[in-house]
Chains A and B, each alone.
Chain A
């Protein structure tokens, strides 16, 4: 069974389950709207939702790209210069120990209401899985490959370029997959804390006005975007890294 048909089955099952819950417990719309109501909200607000998607998507994609760059560079420098790893590792762990939610308001104060603060939230949330996966990959190069390179009288940086980095790319790819799933969350969290645009802002607004159907419609949109993004990134990675 293909991934698409399996997804469809799971999705349909979930919708039916949702409908049953609403019907059995006689839930009012402002607690849990029916799937149908959400679909209607999605349709009537399509223009608004699409308009608000643009900043969120921009933040997600820029954050993802910068996060991959910064995360990879951090891993490379940690492996190449041992003292950097020695001093950076505690910093990395601290950066992950602080809840992003807690510092997000600070980031808004520092970097403003615009895209920058959201992109930075996204980067902070996703660069760790990338650094950690790539760093592990770079340290786990097969010893027999390194032995071979040594008997070939290779320079250290060339071994790095031609053996260690390519050998670690599958690890980096799994880090990027995790980051791709996290990236939209980063953007949304950033918007929740302080924004005048974006899907997170729209959700918060709908919530405050008890437009629960709209809130769910936005949620569904975020899920669809996340799935598409993951699917595209996964395809790209599988095409680029075949070993």
Chain B
């Protein structure tokens, strides 16, 4: 990581889709070096919020306004790595080249990145797949390559949009553990549908729900991640989240 993880402030966010207001006057503070998980029903605007922090454009029917700032001197756009729901691997590149996509796109030819990439392939257990193409990999392996690509950006802020939602439970569990180890001490915003995923990984859990949607901090956790899903406290929290989400769904 090149710089210290910043705090991020989203101030007075407004989102409308096809002239329907999805949320307004929404504030969010992402703590420096902490993981924030965002839960909520589909279509509530979680992904849009994340994309806007990442500096990405949306469809022309969406209107989004917000003040997004951070507490370090560098502009936020240079501090962000974005990990979408799709693995977004390029089918014409092998795993290693896919992982190194960022440095290739910026025209850097760094031997350091190559060494770092090989070490990461080692630590995620994909050393034998370095020369394989995405079509030769399983869904879980592809997401691991995508995770390496995100890590190789060496950015202090990581934005994850339901990264493991298409995977089976066991693979998802393994990747959560892996992410918790590899992304430690970065400022992470993680959008998910899975309450247990949030509880295993997050320091703070928010629910975005309602019409227009309100952002509510529901749980703060201070034990180190990744947490054991059998933990009694986690199971209790899970019930709380389920109740909150069911209530949110009923509002629709």
Interface residues of A (CB under 8 A from B): 142, 144-145, 147-155, 158-159, 162-163, 166-167, 169, 242-243
Contacts and interface: CB of A to CB of B under 8 A. Distances in A.
A154 B80 CA distance: 13
Interface of B: 51, 54-56, 77-78, 80-82, 84, 86, 88, 90-92, 101-102, 104-107, 133, 135, 153
A155 B54 CA distance: 17
B56 A154 contact: no
Nearest to A146: B56
B101 A152 contact: yes
Given A153-B78, A166-B92, A243-B91, A147 B105 contact: no
29 contacts: A142-B88, A144-B84, A144-B86, A145-B88, A145-B90, A147-B51, A147-B84, A148-B82, A148-B101, A150-B55, A151-B55, A151-B81, A152-B101, A152-B102, A153-B77, A153-B105, A155-B105, A155-B107, A158-B104, A158-B105, A159-B105, A162-B90, A162-B101, A162-B104, A162-B105, A163-B105, A167-B90, A242-B91, A243-B91
Contacts of B90: 145, 162-163, 166-167
Interface SS of B by simple majority? loop
A199 to B, nearest CB: 39
Nearest to A148: B88
B92 A149 contact: no
A66 to B, nearest CB: 26
Nearest to A151: B82
Nearest to B102: A152
Contacts of A242: 91-92, 133
Contacts of B54: 147, 151
A153 B82 contact: no
Contact of B80 (A145, A151, A163, A169): A151
A167 B90 CA distance: 8
A150 B107 contact: no
Contacts of B107: 155, 158
B92 A243 contact: yes
Contacts of A147: 51, 54, 56, 82, 84
Given A150-B55, A158-B106, A243-B92, 7 more contacts: A147-B51, A148-B101, A151-B80, A152-B101, A152-B102, A162-B90, A162-B101
A154 B55 contact: no
Nearest to B85: A144
A45 B11 CA distance: 85
A166 B105 CA distance: 14
A151 B88 contact: no
A152 B106 contact: yes
Contacts of A149: 105
Given A147-B82, A243-B135, A153 B88 contact: no
| The 4 nearest A-B residue pairs measured at CB | A154-B105, A243-B91, A151-B82, A152-B102
A112 to B, nearest CB: 43
Contacts of B104: 158, 162
Contacts of B91: 242-243
A151 B82 CA distance: 6
A152 B105 contact: yes
A166 B93 CA distance: 10
A155 B103 CA distance: 11
Contacts of B84: 144, 147-148
Nearest to A145: B88
A154 B108 CA distance: 11
Contact of A151 (B56, B86, B135): B56
B106 A154 contact: yes
A113 B109 CA distance: 53
B106 A155 contact: yes
B85 to A, nearest CB: 8
Nearest to A159: B105
Contacts of B102: 152, 154
A132 to B, nearest CB: 22
A71 to B, nearest CB: 21
Contacts of B82: 147-148, 151
Nearest to B84: A144
A149 B56 CA distance: 11
Interface centre among A147, A148, A149, A158 (most CB of B within 10 A): A148
A155 B135 CA distance: 27
Nearest to B146: A148
Contacts of B51: 147
A82 B193 CA distance: 41
